[in-house]
Amino acid sequence: MKHEQELSQLKVLVVDDTSGNRQMLQSFLRKLGCQSTTAEDGAQAVEACRREMPDLILMDVMMPVMDGLTATREIRRRPEWKKMPVIALTAKAMPDDRQKCVEAGANDYIAKPLDVDKLVSLVKVWLPK
């Protein structure tokens, strides 16, 4: 893939309550040369950030325990995490979803099913400099 060198060694936290989605995203990220870890809900995502801060988070919006918007707000409360890029993912794309995600602190938003080229473009836009 042409994006491999640019995204190589990027540490990505994949947060999704569906194991198939986590596996698909991890497989895709691996092909790009990224390292990834996963969390099944927003609470696990916050805990994962405490253990090792990722370079970028792919955050599902609708999850049990703690949804992605709540988790993103929680992440933004911590000064050391304020600049960490968060890209929100949602399966039920509604007209106001993008605004809700941005208001919660997400840097960007993409609807499922994911367009991999669009996802790569978003990741590149929000890559840590």
Question: Is 107 among the domain residues?
Answer: yes
Question: Is 13 among the domain residues?
Answer: yes
Q: Which domain does 70 fall in, by range? A: 4-124
Both structure tokens of 113: 């099913």
Question: Is 129 among the domain residues?
Answer: no
Question: Is 56 among the domain residues?
Answer: yes
Question: Is 96 among the domain residues?
Answer: yes
pTM, to two decimals = 0.91
Question: Is 34 among the domain residues?
Answer: yes
CA 49 to chain centre: 12
Residues 61-101 have pLDDT tens digits of 999 999 999 999 999 999 999 889 999 998 876 778 888 99
CA 32 to CA 27: how far, in whole Å?
A: 9
Residues 38-52 have pLDDT tens digits of 999 999 999 999 999
- Domain tally, the chain: 1
CATH, residue 97: 3.40.50.2300
Mean pLDDT lowest for which of 19-23, 31-35, 64-68? 31-35
Q: Which residues contact 7 (CB under 8 A, 6 or more apart)?
A: 32, 33, 34, 120, 123, 124, 127
**Would you give the DSSP letter of residue 81?**
G
